Structure formats: C-alpha cells, structure tokens
C-alpha cells in the first residue's frame, strides 16, 4: 500500500508542537478560598435554586453564596421552601418598608456594599437575601477589610440577571413565588474515573503491542517471496514506512522538557481564543492522521488486496484508493467534531481522536534504551511536580491546572486531554488526564515490549507485564492522592514514574540485566562477532 497523502513525519512535527504543552490530571476544585477575614466564612457555595410560581415547579437555576452569612444545607431534604418578596427599596441600601418576616428577600445589585445590603435585609426580618446581578455571571461577594465584626445570620446569595428578572416579573404580577435553596457537594472522586483509567491503560497496551499484531504474518511474507517482483515504488514505500520512526536522544529529552515548560507558560499568559483555536486545529490534524493510519492498517490486515489499487493524483503521485477514501472519512469526522466541540457530547470525539493520535505517536517516537528513558522520565517527573505544586508560589495559582481548565471568558479549553463526564457530580464537569501522563510512561512501556520481543522473553521472565501492572497501579495511586488531597489536582507522573521506571530498574538489578537495558542498542560488536573464526 502506498504512503498516506501526508507523511508520518509531518504527524511527528505537528504533534510535537502541541505535545510540548503536555498536561497532567486536572481536577476541579470545589470551593474558592480567599484571605481570612474575621466575620467571614472564607468559603463560597454553589447553590441549586428550585422555584415555584403559583405552585407550578419551574426550571432550577444556579446561584452562589457570599463570603459572609450562614451556610446552606447540602441535603435537599433539609432545605425549607420559603416565599419570596421584593424589597422596598429594591437596592436594599436603606431601611426597608416592605414586610419580609419569614420570607426570602429579592433585591437588586445597587450602589452600597454587599455587607450593607445583608445587614438591612436581616434587620427587616428576611430569612435569606437573594441579589440579582447586573450581568449573566455570578460575581464573588467578599468582605471588606473593615468588615471585622459582621454578624450576619442569614444566607446571602447571588443569581444571574435572567433568573432574577423572571422571578421579579412573576412577583410584580402578584403571583406567589417560592424558592428552595440548597448547596449539594461534589464528590471528590467520581466513579467515571474507572472508565478514564481503562482508557489510559488500554491506550498504552494497544500502542505497545500494535506493531506486533499488525505486522505481516510469516505465511504472508513467504507468499510475497513467491509472488511476482514488486515495483520500485512498492519497495520505496516499504523502506519509507520502516524509516518512519524517531529515536529520542538524551539531549533531545532535556530540550523537550525545557520547551514544554516554555510552551506551558505561553499558554498560561496568552490563553486567548485564537491561540486555543490554533492548538485545536493541530489536534484535529494529528487525530485525523492517527485515525487514518489505524483504520487503513486494520483494513489491509484483514484484506491484503484492498490497498493495492492506486490512482495517480497531482502533487501526491500514486496513492492508494483505500487511503484516499479513509482520509476523506477522517476529514469529515474531524470537521464535524471541530464544529460541535463545545457540545456536551464532544468529549467522546475528543477521546477517540486523542487515543488514535497517541497510539500513532508511540509508533513514531521511540526510546532506544533505559538511559534515555531515565533522563526523560526524571525530567518530566520534576516538571510535573513544579508546575502543579510549586508554580502557585510564583504565579499565584497552579499553572498546569489553570491551562488544563482553559479560558473562562470564551469557554474554550485545550483538547490535549482525555475527558469523561463526572457522572455522579450534581454540578457536572469532567474527569481529565493529560496526554503526557500516557505518552511519557507509554514510551518506556513500548520500549520494554520491544526489548522482551527481541530477546525472546516470555510472560514469566519478561518486563512488559510488570510495567503494565505498574502503570495501572500508578494511575490508581494518582486518584487516591486526589482523594486524600481533597480534590486538588495531582501531578500523575509523581506516581507513574516510580511505578514504571522504578519497577524496570529494580527488576533489572534483580535479574542482573540492568546494564543491558541501560546501554541497549549502543554496544559495539565484539571482534568475534565481526570476524567469526572458521569452523573446524
């Protein structure tokens, strides 16, 4: 079969451009914390607001509590449904003339401070204060430096303009409006991480064994020897395909991690919609190339004659008809995903493209031995720890997690992540794992599989089964750390590197094969190998 319309080397170049922004696990924090001020709770709650108009249940909307005031119950059964009344005056900046005893006060965002509104509403007998914001966002209502002796004993929360206007309109039409306020908590770990774990482990496993199970069978090779001589184009194609690999050097590994840090900082400071759009286009190109190669490989594996029909095209020369058809299909899929990338189901297409791309990248980029693997993974190990845990000391927030979440203004996020919806979280969101947490250990595991195969090691004395177990264990420890750290984003390589590289080194020492693993592929042939003695 002829080469695809664009070469795997272009894939390697395009993928490298955005893989230097490799990300770790990004976990949504549940609460927003601010500096400690006496009289303030230092914690914001996201609130579910259920409403009834004349007894008819309306659409539930979202609100956010203030930094001051009492907390709302997290259990819906413990919440109390109360009537709503407009304040007079509407901005609640002066003494109220309306009767609010036992009701929820509905007020507009006015000129005075949030704390002043809360004190006025509480003095008027309100059971809670709901402020209507002047825009379709929820702003943080914080304490001032002088608010050191607040005594607010009612919940204070804010809703968006559209939600507030609908409630205000119903009240002004003399309709009975009632609200039920509660703040359900997000689970630290969602059971959907099991599927994310399976996707990650499965991607590494498939990428490792891909070339072994998709290479021509011996029977096919014997048949090829008996078949008519292949053309020079076919020989060139075969030779080109064999050369489509890139061995990572020790210096390249260091430069790669330094470039990754630089690119990550650029993403952090220039997280604009056009920048993310460029990265998304590169993601589509890489995903399309990966899907194309996987589909054509699987089809030709089942039907060897399917890829033999060629067509001559301008600029491309002789190209397989199968390759063109599959390329067109992948292009249509990429365009559809790009147009629908902000929908609730776009994560599925993103994961498919990402998995195809990573499998393909792990066939192109290779580690030659454990020496280079140690340099690359140790650099990535400290890279991950610095940008997750230490970067807040410099940039006031975790650079890695901020980049993983994307831009709040445009709703765009970088696509170099595997995502799956949080199935048990009332607030939605996604569980995520970065490509780097799959590709970095995947390079080592792919090398180990090749080492086992070339040295005829079976399951019992091989390294590959142990490293697959170690990778799965490392991911499990990552999510365990996420639970222990109360949902704070974790650098997955902190756990994955010891569980993969560490296991390799320990097994190599025990089996006395570490020297061979360390210098694999670099040993000079002995004199006996170069000039073998004649047989007696």
Domain ranges of the chain: 46-182, 191-216+246-272+354-519
What is the average per-residue pLDDT within 334-360?
92
Nearest to 210 by CA among 305, 118, 290: 290
Locate tokens 């199935």: which residue?
423
For residues 496 and 381, what is the distance between their CA atoms, to the nearest angstrom?
A: 9
According to the model, what pLDDT value does residue 215 have?
A: 74
Burial class (CB in 10 A: 0-12, 13-18, 19+), 467: buried
Q: Annotated catalytic, 384?
A: yes
Confidence of residue 535 (pLDDT cuts 50, 70, 90): very low
For residues 470 and 468, what is the distance between their CA atoms, to the nearest angstrom?
A: 5
CA 408 vs CA 45, 185, 412: distances in Å: 19, 22, 7
For residues 386 and 382, what is the distance between their CA atoms, to the nearest angstrom?
A: 6
For residues 331 and 333, what is the distance between their CA atoms, to the nearest angstrom?
A: 5
Is the pLDDT reported for residue 350 higher than 60?
yes
Give backbone dihedrals phi and psi of 59, rounded to 5 degrees, phi first.
-75, 135
375 neighbors 384 (Cβ within 8 angstroms):
no
Confidence of residue 410 (pLDDT cuts 50, 70, 90): low
Confidence of residue 231 (pLDDT cuts 50, 70, 90): very low
Nearest to 130 by CA among 50, 63, 42: 63
Q: Annotated catalytic, 91?
A: no
According to the model, what pLDDT value does residue 95 have?
A: 83
DSSP state of 73: P
Active-site residue (options: 437, 452, 516, 529): 437
For residues 510 and 499, what is the distance between their CA atoms, to the nearest angstrom?
A: 16
Is the pLDDT reported for residue 1 higher than 50?
no
Nearest to 207 by CA among 12, 19, 443, 501: 443
Point out the least confidently predicted range of 78-87, 214-223, 264-273, 361-370: 214-223
**In the Cβ-directed half-sphere of 422, how many Cα atoms lie within 13 Å?**
18
H-state helical runs in 250-369: 250-269, 273-302, 321-339, 346-364
83 sits in which H/E element: strand 81-86
Confidence of residue 490 (pLDDT cuts 50, 70, 90): confident
Structure tokens at 398: 């975790």
- 312 strand-pairing partners: 318
**What digits encode the pLDDT tens for the residues 258-284?**
887 787 787 777 777 777 888 888 889
Confidence of residue 35 (pLDDT cuts 50, 70, 90): very low
Is the pLDDT reported for residue 421 higher than 80?
yes
For residues 100 and 374, what is the distance between their CA atoms, to the nearest angstrom?
A: 68
User: For the chain, first and last CA: distance in Å?
Assistant: 47
Confidence of residue 371 (pLDDT cuts 50, 70, 90): very high
CATH number of 46-182: 3.50.30.30
For residues 92 and 130, what is the distance between their CA atoms, to the nearest angstrom?
A: 11
CB atoms within 10 A of CB 275: 15
According to the model, what pLDDT value does residue 226 have?
A: 43
Give backbone dihedrals phi and psi of 212, rounded to 5 degrees, phi first.
-70, -45
Is the pLDDT reported for residue 113 higher than 50?
yes
For residues 137 and 438, what is the distance between their CA atoms, to the nearest angstrom?
A: 36
According to the model, what pLDDT value does residue 241 have?
A: 41
DSSP-derived 3-state class of residue 28: coil
Is the pLDDT reported for residue 28 higher than 60?
no
12 neighbors 256 (Cβ within 8 angstroms):
no
What is the average per-residue pLDDT within 80-109?
86
Structure tokens at 462: 């091989």
Report the mean per-residue pLDDT for the chain. Answer: 79
Is the pLDDT reported for residue 532 higher than 70?
no
Structure tokens at 273: 């919609």
Active-site residue (options: 28, 147, 384, 452): 384
Is the pLDDT reported for residue 525 higher than 60?
no
Nearest to 122 by CA among 103, 138, 109: 103
């Amino acid at each position: 079969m002829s080469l695809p319309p664009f070469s795997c080397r272009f894939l390697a170049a395009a993928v490298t451009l955005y893989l230097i922004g490799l990300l770790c696990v990004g976990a949504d924090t549940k609460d927003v914390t601010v500096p400690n001020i006496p009289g303030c709770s230092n914690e914001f709650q996201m609130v579910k607001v259920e409403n009834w108009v004349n007894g008819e249940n309306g659409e539930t909307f979202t609100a956010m509590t203030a930094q001051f005031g009492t907390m709302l119950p997290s259990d819906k059964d413990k919440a109390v449904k109360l009537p709503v009344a407009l304040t007079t005056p509407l901005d609640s900046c002066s003494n109220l003339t309306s009767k609010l005893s036992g009701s929820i006060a509905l007020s507009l965002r006015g000129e005075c401070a949030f704390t002043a509104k809360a004190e006025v509403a509480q003095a008027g007998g309100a059971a809670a204060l709901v402020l209507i914001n002047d825009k379709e966002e929820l702003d943080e209502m914080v304490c001032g430096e002088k608010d050191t002796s607040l005594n607010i004993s009612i919940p204070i929360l804010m809703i968006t303009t559209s939600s507030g206007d609908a409630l205000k309109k119903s009240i002004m039409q003399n309709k009975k409006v009632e609200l039920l306020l509660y703040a359900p908590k997000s689970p630290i770990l969602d059971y959907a991480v099991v599927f994310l774990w399976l996707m990650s482990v499965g991607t590494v496993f498939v990428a490792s064994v891909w070339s072994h199970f998709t290479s021509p069978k011996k029977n096919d090779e014997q048949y090829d020897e008996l078949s008519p001589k292949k053309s020079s184009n076919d020989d060139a194609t075969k030779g080109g395909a064999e050369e489509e690999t890139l061995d990572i050097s020790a210096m390249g590994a260091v430069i790669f991690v330094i470039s990754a840090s630089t690119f990550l900082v650029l993403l952090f400071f220039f997280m604009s919609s056009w920048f993310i759009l460029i990265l998304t286009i590169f993601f589509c190109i890489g995903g399309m190339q990966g899907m194309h190669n996987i589909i054509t490989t699987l089809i030709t594996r089942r039907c060897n004659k399917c890829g033999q029909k060629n067509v001559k095209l301008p600029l491309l020369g002789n190209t397989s008809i199968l390759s063109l058809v599959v390329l067109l299909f992948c292009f249509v899929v990429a365009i559809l995903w790009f147009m629908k990338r902000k929908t609730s189901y776009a994560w599925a297409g993103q994961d498919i493209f990402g998995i195809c791309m990573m499998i393909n990248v792990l066939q192109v980029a290779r580690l030659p031995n454990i020496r280079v693997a140690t340099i690359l993974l140790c650099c990535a190990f400290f890279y991950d720890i610095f940008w997750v845990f230490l970067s807040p000391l410099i940039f006031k927030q975790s650079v890695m997690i901020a980049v993983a979440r994307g831009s709040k203004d445009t709703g765009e996020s970088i696509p170099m992540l595997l995502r799956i919806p949080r199935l048990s979280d009332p607030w939605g969101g996604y569980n995520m794992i970065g490509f780097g947490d799959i590709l970095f250990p995947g390079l080592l595991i792919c090398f180990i599989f090749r080492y086992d195969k070339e040295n005829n090691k079976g399951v019992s004395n091989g390294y590959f089964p142990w490293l697959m177990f170690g990778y799965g264990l490392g991911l499990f420890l990552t999510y365990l750390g996420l639970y222990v750290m109360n949902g704070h984003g974790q650098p997955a390589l902190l756990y994955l590197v010891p569980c993969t590289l560490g296991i390799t080194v320990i097994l190599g020492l025990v089996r006395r094969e570490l020297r061979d693993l360390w210098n694999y592929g670099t040993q000079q042939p002995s004199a006996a190998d170069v000039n073998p003695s004649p047989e007696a």
